[in-house]
Amino acid sequence: MGVSTSSPEKGISVVTVDFPPVNALPVHGWFDLADAVRTAGRDPEIRCVVLTAEGRGFNAGVDIKEIQREQDRREYGRQQDGRRGATGHGALIGANRGCAEAFAAVYECEVPVVAAVRGFCLGGGIGLVGNADAIVASDDATFGLPELDRGALGAATHLARLVPQHLMRALYYTSRTATAAELHAHGSVWRVVPRAEVQDAALELAREIAAKDGQLIRLAKAAINGIDPVDVRRSYRFEQGFTFEAGLSGVADRVRSTFGHDASGEEDR
């Protein structure tokens, strides 16, 4: 369980996320993922990184139970005399910073990153794949931002890299999902394959990228990032300010308290 790195072929590093049951990551998981991706990209022998996950789905976002536990401690503190220290938002701040670092690590990785997506890709998962260089997905994969149902905001920056502007807004406001086939039609998913073939398809693309000159592929990644019309790190951090405002105002706690979740902090999918 956690984040692991392997190198199945010359020039390719595979970073695998495994936080059962649905890959809803705790704060340390986001930072571990960021470290793994950055470390892989700095290796001069690596020319492409594949980002993948074990289990039922690619990513279910932030571990809401970690934030919920802090909410419960705050509520208990309000009921006790002299418990002024029970008003912190450490878990929310940690999740905000961890997500920002993981998303940035994918975007800023010195070599191209191919996301291999099986099943659901939600919340923070959108931040990861939206910042990846290419996406290979299973035919049962779904992509979406259920943030408004979770008392949060964010990653519209990354969803806007996957679908056109008006579709992004409709998906965001409704918390609906889009299929891999729909994203393929919009040009944001490279290939859609049966679930069992996702890893092989991602490695096939990574192999083709890794066949290029290592120094030149790094220059290409830097050049493409340099002409990007949106500063994704700054844009996402702007969004996160509103997430924190929702937390401070109490609206996030109110929405989250109506949300049923399993032991992972996310829906039982």
Q: Is the pLDDT of residue 49 over 50?
A: yes
Tell me, what CATH number does 147's domain have? Answer: 3.90.226.10
**Structural domain contains residue 45:** yes
**Structural domain contains residue 46:** yes
Q: Is the pLDDT of residue 9 over 70?
A: yes
Q: Is the pLDDT of residue 269 over 70?
A: no
pLDDT digits (tens, 9 = 90+) for 112-160: 999 999 999 999 999 999 999 999 999 999 999 999 998 889 999 999 9
**Structural domain contains residue 203:** no
pLDDT digits (tens, 9 = 90+) for 190-218: 999 999 999 999 999 999 999 999 999 99
What values do phi and psi take at 7, rounded to 5? Answer: -135, 85
pTM equals 0.90
**Structural domain contains residue 207:** no
**Structural domain contains residue 263:** no
- Find the domain containing 226 and state its range: 2-198+214-256
Sign of CA dihedral 101, 103, 104, 110: positive
Q: Which of 87-96, 197-206, 226-235, 257-266 is the least confident region?
A: 257-266
**Structural domain contains residue 261:** no
Q: Can you tell me the distance from the alpha carbon of 140 to that of 237, in angstroms, rounded to the nearest whole number?
A: 31
More confident residue, 246 or 264: 246
Beta strands in the chain (DSSP E): 2-9, 12-18, 48-53, 113-117, 120-122, 134-138, 142-144, 177-179, 191-193
**Interior angle at CA 30, CA 24 and CA 33, nearest 5:** 110
Domains: count for the chain: 1
Specify the pLDDT at position 266: 41
**Structural domain contains residue 190:** yes
- Point out which residues pair with 178 in neighbouring strands: 143
Specify the pLDDT at position 73: 58
**Structural domain contains residue 158:** yes
